[in-house]
Structures are given as structure tokens and as C-alpha cells.
Amino acid sequence: MATMVSNLLKKKSEPAVNSPAQVIGGHGTDSYSNNSFYQKLAANVVKKKIEDAIMMKLDVASFSSTSNIIRLADFGCGVGSNTITAMHDLLEFVKKKYRSQCPVSQMPEFQVIFNDQSTNDFNTLFTSLPQDKEYMVAGVPGSFHDQVLPKSSLHLAHCSYSLHWLSKLPKELQDKLSPAWNKGKIHYTSAPQEVLNAYATQFAEDLDNFLNARAQEIVSGGMMLIVGSGIPDGMSYSQVVNGLMYNCMGSILMDMVKTGSINEAEIDAFNLPIYACPPGEFTAGVERNGLFTVEVIELMNPAPWLKGPIDIPAFVKHVRAAMEGMFSKHFSRETIDELFNQLVPRLSEISQQMESCYRDGLQLFAILKRK
């Protein structure tokens, strides 16, 4: 999400990589599967880097010496074709590496595992699978902050645009006696430092749990590829486009309080569980955990080829497809409709400011290797 705007710069129309459990399922007009093309563009930016990493750093010959099947998993797979395309590409890279390492050996079997929350629309996901797939498939429901696969059963893990979703909100955000009480706001953007600290602490805990779970599942020498929302070390989130959007969302909701549509307590009880981790914090978290080595970590421009004004209606449509589920747990359908209807003109008023806030370094790319 933190990089979504960079992929929504005005471009010729194209048909609509992964997503959290809050997305709209199915194949409808407003579904995530039909409104995630720009997320696919962001993920494609790292495709060549992933291929290079597998070719240089992944020892697939050692895997095949202990098992006749190589397993790949996508954590936080979401719905639609993006996750399937991503796993197909990974599989082709692994096959290429295997042919280079073991040119006279028979190709092993492959299994691709799709993981997400139990509320994920796995039916829609599986209807997108190609008929001629050359791998076995399994869907595994459950939080990726916990172990969901058998010990030492996984060789290559993939997680794209999912890790920035917190497992839970810090309880301090709703404690009126806490310096981190986030009254009148829905995110840490433009909030007191204590609110940001609470988010960062929760993300650090989630990252540690995520790494511990993957360390149980991934064999020694196995690799994990992570793509997601990032931000340069020391930069305020109010300086990036999504920060401006979250402020607008909060402002719209507060205006609805003034008209009596909702009460302020509803807003005080709602906070977006999204954290964009700077690379310094991410590296420090991996090093504290001690179970993986950081092979690559960098911030990237998710859409270096796109220039021009932001298509605000398209931007809001994609945002709604990815985020509506979170709002629906706290607000009525009428409130949500009003929020997103008002978001288009509100963002249009600040479109030039949004364009000026667009900058490189909002997509985190990391490659970790199991010790």
C-alpha cells in the first residue's frame, strides 16, 4: 500500500501480489482480484533481482539430495492471479538453477503452498490456477505469525505486500491514560511520537514471531524473499502519499462526526493496522532474531517507468478493494460508502501535493537465508 500511488500514475488503461485477509474476495467489479494490477507492477520491479538471488545464492542441489520434492510457499497470498504469477516465476527460476547445478539429474517434483488467514477467499484463488500447472498445490489457512507448515519442510518462502499488516493493534492506542492514545486519528501519520513508537514496537514483535515461525519451517540454506511497504530511515510518514491519504480519511470521518453520521468514540476505537518499516529497523530485527542472515536489503522505486499525474479515482478504487474489510469491522456500509466517495474529491484537491510527495525508496526488498 505504501507504494501503491507510484503505480497509479496516469497510464493507458490495462486490465486489473498479494494481499491481506481484509481484501474484497470474489471476481466482482470491486474485488481485489480485479483491482490489483498496480500491485502486480510493483512486485514485478524485483523480478530480475529475485532471479539473480536464486541463481547465485540458492543451493537447490542440496535440497534434492535429501528430498525428491522442493516446496515453495507464498505467505499472505491473498486472491487472484498475482500470487500465482509470482509463484510460477519463482518455480521457473528454481528449475533454471537446478538445471545449471544438476544438468544430468532428473528434475524433482514441486509443491506450491498458498497461505493466508482462514477468511481468505481460497476458492477464488484456486479457480485462477492454470490447467497445465507443473506443480502440486496446497492451501494452508492460518496466521503467518505462527508456524503453519511442518518443521524443515520448506525450501523457498515468498511474502509480498503482507508483512506490513500488524497482527494486532497496540493496546495503548485506545487507552485514554496512555501517551499513545490516538484520539481523533486512524493511523500514526501526524500522530505523537508515542503512537509511532507503539506501532514500531508491535511490528518488531510481529517480525520476530514471523521469523521464528519461518525458521521452524525452512530448511538450513533455504531462502525467504520479502517485498513490501517501506520508508527511508528517519522519514516521517506524513511525507509520503499514503500518509496524506490516511490523514484525509481521518479528516473525512471527523467531519462525519460533526454532521452526526457517526460518533467520535467510533473513530477513537479505530486504527489502521499498517506499518511501513524502515530498512534499518528491519535489519536490526532480523539480526536480533539471529536465525537468518540478511543477504540483500534495499529500498526501491516500485514503478520507475511511470510519470505523470495521479489517477485519483483509480487510486481510490484500488485502495478500497484492499482495505474495505478493515473498515467494515468498525463502520456501517453507509459510512464506508461516504468515506470513499468523499476521498476522491479530497485527494483531488491535494493531488499536486501528493505528486510532490512521490519519491523513490518506498518499496522494501529483502532476501533472507536460513542459517
pLDDT for the residue numbered 306: 60
Is the CATH number 3.40.50.2300 carried by domain 32-370? no
Of 147 and 18, the structure prediction assigns the larger pLDDT to 147
Over residues 25-36, the mean pLDDT reads 44
User: At 45, is the pLDDT very low, low, confident or very high (cuts 50, 70, 90)?
Assistant: confident
* pTM, 2 dp: 0.89
- 315 phi and psi angles, rounded to 5 deg: -60, -50
Separation of alpha carbons 87 and 77, rounded Å: 10
Q: Is the pLDDT of residue 258 over 80?
A: yes
Share of the chain above pLDDT 70, in %: 86
Q: Which residues contact 78 (CB under 8 A, 6 or more apart)?
A: 17, 18, 19, 20, 23, 32, 36, 116, 120, 125, 162
Q: Are 291 and 218 in contact (CB under 8 A)?
A: no
Q: Are 113 and 144 in contact (CB under 8 A)?
A: no
Give Dmax over CA atoms of the chain in angstroms.
73
- Tell me: the pLDDT tens digits for 154-176? 999 999 989 999 999 999 998 99
Q: Is the pLDDT of residue 24 over 60?
A: no
Q: Is the pLDDT of residue 44 over 80?
A: no
pLDDT for the residue numbered 290: 98
pLDDT for the residue numbered 291: 98
Q: Are 157 and 214 in contact (CB under 8 A)?
A: yes
Nearest to 38, CA basis, from 316, 237, 239, 348: 316
Q: Is the pLDDT of residue 183 over 60?
A: yes
Separation of alpha carbons 98 and 61, rounded Å: 7
Q: How does strand 218-229 pair with strand 363-370?
A: antiparallel
Q: How far is CA 203 from the centre of its chain?
A: 13
Q: Is the pLDDT of residue 17 over 90?
A: no
